[in-house]
Structure formats: structure tokens, C-alpha cells
Amino acid sequence: MPDVQIQPDTREVLVDGAPVTMGARAFDVLAHLHANQDRVVSKAELLETVWGGLAVEEGNLTVQISTLRKALGPKAIATVPGVGYKLAIGAASATPRGPALPDKPSLVVLPFANLSGTAENDYLVDGLITDIIASLSRLSALYVIAASTSFRFKGQPVDIADVGRQLGVRYAVEGSVQQAGASLRVTVQLVEAETGRTIWSERFTGETQNVFDLQDEIAARVAGAVEPKLMFAEAGLSQGKPTGDLGAYDLVLRALPHVYRVQTLEDFRKGVDLLDRAIERDPGYRMAKAWKVRAYLIARGARMISWEENLEAAPLAKTLLAEAGDDPLVLVFAGQFFAFSGWGQEEGAEAVRRARRLCPNSALVNLSAGWPLSYIGAYDEAIEAFEKGMRLDPLGDMVVYCRMGASLCHLHSGRIETAVALSEQVVAELPSYGTGVQTLVLAYWAAGRVDDARRTAEALRRIVPDVTLTATLESSPYRRPEQRQMMIDAFRGAGLPD
């Protein structure tokens, strides 16, 4: 996004240091958004302020917003459906600084270069890095940025110092992978982000059938180079091979891009099919089953599948929860499904608590754990999990859902203005996500912003035409009386159908 300076006194706008010419109305809209950039400004407020009470159609405002986006960039002004607009840029002088360094060794594992000469091996290289990050995340003495944030830098030239500042980490791991037949050659180096100094580098060689041993060895050497006191065996990095069937492992790697976010129903179907094939090859492959449970959970959360279809995964989730052992991802996925489905919410919450104790520095564990904790009313504990997940995965796709969970926790804790601000940010980032818009309805109603709640409710009905209070209560994992009463009051007050 370009650097933008807005100077209300002289009515000047500079983009990347160059003046931009715009009409008086467009500047007035921009100036009002800039003066109130900490909140969403309603369309009614903009029309009243800029046009001084003149009877003008909303289309006039839309034209000015379009003009501003052409001048400042398409993401400069965010639309909050049914409510209004929010300025998504600041002055060039207000360059945001990255988070402070944690009080423990912190690192990011950047995507490794694929030197095999074919993009077909990308998924194998990505899987190797994802598993190394997961192994390192088990170490409570390390602070490790999540894979989904790491992969934001894939295929891009990066300045290690900039990455370190942006993510708030002291070290970066980078490298390359070369595959020739069954042989793998992995080159890895550990770099001090601020200075660019290489602390340690090494080349590893192995066979594809020994890929799990290779992952563990690389993770151990990285951990040892960052903090010599860390003991690989004591840290519990190596949990044993997840499967003895590399074909099943390959199928799970191919499924992950489809089930991590579940962006479409087609993604869900394709990912589950690949996972089913992996389970068929190795019926004891718990991680394949865990990702399948999570795929159902996310697809239902996005309303891609029915409540009844979601419950098809319930027997698998129950079995996994009983057999999870010390595997944090299996515990957190099964526990989250257990709690989301409405039975055994305390049991599900205890499972995710155990997962966090086992793997406190996994973004995915923290992001997933926050939801069951919020269902049972452990709001501060849930917020802490959500915030830690966001810190560990600041650029990842899951951050917005984490922010929505935190918003609900603040809302139920009585911190209404914080809940409103977080919900507005969620809707600005994902305007078509029905659950996010619904959460904003609740927040506006609780804040006494009746007009905003009703406008947002109309936006919700456009996104989810069949939304009703009855259906929402039946499928909501929020089962406590005060949680349900909040939904009842907001739905009815905002004019949503029973």
C-alpha cells in the first residue's frame, strides 16, 4: 500500500510524496474518515457531514469512495457492509513498528527454496518446513512463528532484518531442498535477523523414506544452535513416526492446502477425499483423522455443510479424543469438535487445555483452543490463547477468526467497546463472512447502537438469506443461558426473524 499523507489544513493529499488532485467532496469524505480512523463511520454520518444535510442519494457517496480508492489504492478504504467505511491507511510518518521481542529465543522458519527443478515437489518441500516448525513449536523455551505466516514470504525476495522487525523475532532459518529420485539434500542456515550474521549452517542428506528422521534432526540442530541448553530428547520433539506408510503421508500433505482454511465446498470435498485415502492406507494414522475432523468443523463454521453432515464426523472425533495421548494437534482438533458440537464442552475444554500445556508455542493449538474455552465462559483464558495465537501467526489466514473469537469473549465479559472495535475489524477484512457479520450485530446491539445493529442485520440477511434465531440457537456452541439471551435480545432487537 502506498504511503499517504493527509493535510486537512491545506487540503492536500500526498501519495508516495507526490500531490494528488481530487474534488472537494472527495477530500471532505477523506478528511472525515481520517479524523475518525479509529472507528467505522456510518454512511448516514458521512452524508450528513459532507453534504451538510442536503437531500442526496447514497450513490453520491459511493462515487466519492470509488474516486478515493482509485487515487489511494483499492484497500485504502474498507467497507463494512450495511454500516459504512473505515480508513485503512495512516500517515506515512506513522509507520507501524513490529512487536517487541519475546523474553525467550524467537525465530521464524522461512520457506525453503525448491532446487529440484520442478514445481511438482513444492508440496513435499512445504510439508518438510511445516513439520519442522511444528516440532520446534513443542519447545516451551522457544518462540516460533507459525507456518501460515512463514509461507507469506514464499517466492519473494526478503530482507531478513525487515522480516525480523515485522514479526518481532531474533532469528530466521532459511534453506533449500533438492530431490533426486529417493534422495533428499537439505541445506539449512540460522541467521541473526538484525545483523544478518550467519550463526550456524549445515547440509543434511537422507532418503525420502526417512523424511521424519530428517525433520527431527534438522529441528534438533536448529534448537541446539539457538539455545544450547535445550535437550532434544527431553523436549519431546520426536513423537515417533506419525505413519509407516509414506504414501499415506504424501496424501495428507496434498490434502493440507484444501483443509487448512476450507475456502470452498470443493476444497472440503477434495481434502476429505485425500484424507480418507490416507486413512484407508493406514487406519491408525491419527493425524490424518484429526485433519478430517477439523475440516468438518471449519466447513460447518463457514456454513458450507449442514449441521447434520457436520455430525457425521462425531464418532471419529470421540474416538480420537479417547486415543489422543500426548499429541497436541489431535487433542485440540478433537476437543474443539467435541465442544463445538455441544456435548461434553467441559471435556473438550480440558482437552484443549492439555494441548496448550503440551505445545504452548503452537499458533494452531492456541487459535483452536480459544473457541472451546470461550464456550464454557473461560473468557480471559480464551482471550489469552487467541492473543498468543495472533502473536505467533501475525500474517496467517486464521488471525481474523481469532480476532472474532476474542471479540465474542470481550462482549460476554462486558468489554463492549473493545468487542465492537474487534468485530468491525473482522467485518472490514472479511465482509462476506456471515458469522463475523452476526457477531457485529451482537456487539452493536450490546453497545446500544440500534441503527448500526439493524443496518448490519440487513447485511447479514443478504449474506445468509435463511438466517433465523431458532436455527442459530439450535446450532450455536454457545449454550450458557446468558450467552443465548444475548443472541435472543440482539436478533429480535435488530429485526432478524425468529
Please report which helix (H) or strand (E) contains residue 283, including its range.
none
Query: Does a structural domain hold residue 262?
Result: no
pLDDT of residue 96: 44
Q: Residue 485 is part of a domain; what is its CATH number?
A: 1.25.40.10
Q: 446 lies in which domain range?
A: 398-498
pLDDT at 308 over 60: yes
Q: At which of 221, 241, 261 does a domain end?
A: 241
pLDDT of residue 311: 86
Q: Are residues 114 and 231 in the same domain?
A: yes
Helices (H), ranges, 240-313: 246-259, 265-281, 286-301, 307-310
C-alpha–C-alpha distance, residues 426 and 445, integer Å: 17
pLDDT of residue 209: 76
Give the torsion sign (CA, 479, 480, 483, 488): positive
Most confident of 12-26, 141-155, 207-221: 141-155
pLDDT at 489 over 70: yes
Q: Are residues 237 and 112 in the same domain?
A: yes
pLDDT at 280 over 70: yes
Distance of CA 48 to the CA centre of its chain: 37
Query: Does a structural domain hold residue 273?
Result: no
pLDDT of residue 341: 82
pLDDT of residue 83: 66
Q: What average pLDDT does range 428-452 have in this prediction?
A: 90
Q: Is 340 left (phi over 0), alpha (psi -120 to 50) or beta?
A: alpha
pLDDT of residue 245: 75
Q: Are residues 183 and 113 in the same domain?
A: yes
Most confident of 123-127, 424-428, 431-435: 424-428
The length of the chain in residues reads 498
Q: Are residues 134 and 225 in the same domain?
A: yes
Q: Are residues 110 and 142 in the same domain?
A: yes
Query: Does a structural domain hold residue 147?
Result: yes
Query: Does a structural domain hold residue 292?
Result: no
Report the relative pairing of strands 84-87 and 77-80 from DSSP bridges.
antiparallel
Q: Are residues 76 and 32 in the same domain?
A: yes
Q: Residue 33 is part of a domain; what is its CATH number?
A: 1.10.10.10
Q: At which of 206, 241, 276 does a domain end?
A: 241
Cβ-contact 64, 26 below 8 angstroms: yes
Q: Are residues 191 and 148 in the same domain?
A: yes
Query: Does a structural domain hold residue 302?
Result: no
Q: Are residues 237 and 119 in the same domain?
A: yes
Q: At which of 31, 57, 87 does a domain end?
A: 87
Question: What rounded mean pLDDT belongs to the chain?
Answer: 83
Q: What average pLDDT does range 294-322 have in this prediction?
A: 86
Q: What average pLDDT does range 177-201 have in this prediction?
A: 82
Output the nine-digit C-alpha cell for 95: 509507520
pLDDT of residue 325: 82
Q: Are residues 236 and 133 in the same domain?
A: yes
pLDDT of residue 493: 95
User: How many domains does the structure of the chain reveal?
Assistant: 3
Query: Does a structural domain hold residue 385?
Result: no
Distance of CA 459 to the CA centre of its chain: 23
Residue 491 has, within 13 A of its CA and on its CB side, a CA count of 17
Query: Does a structural domain hold residue 486?
Result: yes
pLDDT at 391 over 80: yes
Q: What average pLDDT does range 275-285 have in this prediction?
A: 92
pLDDT per position as a tens digit, 228-254: 544 333 233 434 556 777 788 888 878
Q: What average pLDDT does range 270-282 have in this prediction?
A: 93
Q: Which of 80-84, 195-199, 325-329, 388-392 has the lowest mean pLDDT?
A: 80-84
Burial of 447 (0-12, 13-18, 19+ CB in 10 A): middle
pLDDT per position as a tens digit, 120-159: 778 878 887 888 888 788 777 778 898 888 988 887 777 8
Q: Are residues 53 and 157 in the same domain?
A: no
Question: For the CA atoms of the chain, what is the radius of gyration?
Answer: 24
Q: Are residues 81 and 117 in the same domain?
A: no
Q: Residue 129 is part of a domain; what is its CATH number?
A: 3.40.50.10610
Share of the chain above pLDDT 70, in %: 91
Going by pLDDT thresholds of 50, 70 and 90, the confidence category of residue 93 is very low
Q: Are residues 230 and 114 in the same domain?
A: yes
Q: Which of 115-119, 189-193, 264-268, 404-408 has the lowest mean pLDDT?
A: 115-119
pLDDT of residue 90: 54
Query: Does a structural domain hold residue 402?
Result: yes
pLDDT of residue 233: 30
